[in-house]
């Protein structure tokens, strides 16, 4: 996304929808992402590549998680 990354997009969306849940997808390792401060502890992450089953399972986790996650 030009001029914006996923974290900034999520911040803008949560202004309009504070309870919106977010699932980030990345080819980077979780350590690299956490080190760069891209994903907060209340944001879900799915590593690429992933299967349809892994996507479905992670979406279930996100949708069933506590409000605000």
Judged against a pLDDT cut of 70, whether residue 50 lies above it is answered with yes
pLDDT tier for residue 68 given thresholds of 50, 70 and 90 = very low
Q: Is the pLDDT of residue 69 over 70?
A: no
Residue 30 CA to residue 37 CA, distance in Å, equals 10
From CA 3, how far away is CA 68, in angstroms rounded? 26
pLDDT tens profile 7-48: 888 889 989 998 888 888 877 666 655 555 555 666 788 888
- Considering the entire predicted model, what is its pTM? 0.66
């Amino acid at each position: 996304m030009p001029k914006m990354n996923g974290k900034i997009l999520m911040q803008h969306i949560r202004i309009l929808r504070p309870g919106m849940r977010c699932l980030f997808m990345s080819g980077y390792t979780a350590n690299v992402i956490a080190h760069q401060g891209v994903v907060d502890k209340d944001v879900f992450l799915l590593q690429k590549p992933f299967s349809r089953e892994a996507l479905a399972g992670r979406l279930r986790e996100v949708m069933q998680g506590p409000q605000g996650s």
